[in-house]
Amino acid sequence: MLDKQSEKVAQLKNRLLSVHPAKQINQASREMTFLNKRLQQTMTRRLEQKKAALHTLIEKLTVLNPLETMRRGFSITYTEKGNILKAKNDVAKNDRITVKISDARLDCRVLDIRED
């Protein structure tokens, strides 16, 4: 009978130790450390993904930027009213036009219109 009671006391003692506040605090602390590390890793990975996406968008915008296009040898031509010249019907012989290149504006006159 004494052995059963000693065994019962030992079991109760083990149960008490397993729910002891210090043990629970240690376990919660370890879990919080783990979650904090995981959060940092996730945020770092997410930040790197966003940086890469931003870099890609910057590259795309640079390619589409009209000034960058002009630096590659292209120009933008404007009618006398300031509209972009898109087709032969937007201009007539002797009209004044402005040609915008990368580092200047050229004031010109249409001498002739030839169809392609």
Give 15-61 pLDDT, tens digit per residue: 877 777 888 889 999 999 999 999 999 999 999 999 999 999 999 99
Counting the structural domains of the chain, the total is 2
Q: State whether 6 and 60 are in the same domain.
A: yes
d(CA 106, CA 100): 6
pLDDT at 108 (0 to 100): 97
Q: State whether 12 and 49 are in the same domain.
A: yes
Q: Which range of residues forms the domain containing residue 95? A: 73-109
- Pull the structure tokens for residue 82: 């300031």
- Residue with the bigger pLDDT between 85 and 72: it is 85
pTM for the model stands at 0.51
Q: pLDDT for 78-102, tens place per residue? A: 999 999 999 999 999 999 999 999 8
Q: State whether 56 and 13 are in the same domain.
A: yes
Single-letter amino acid code for the residue at 84: I
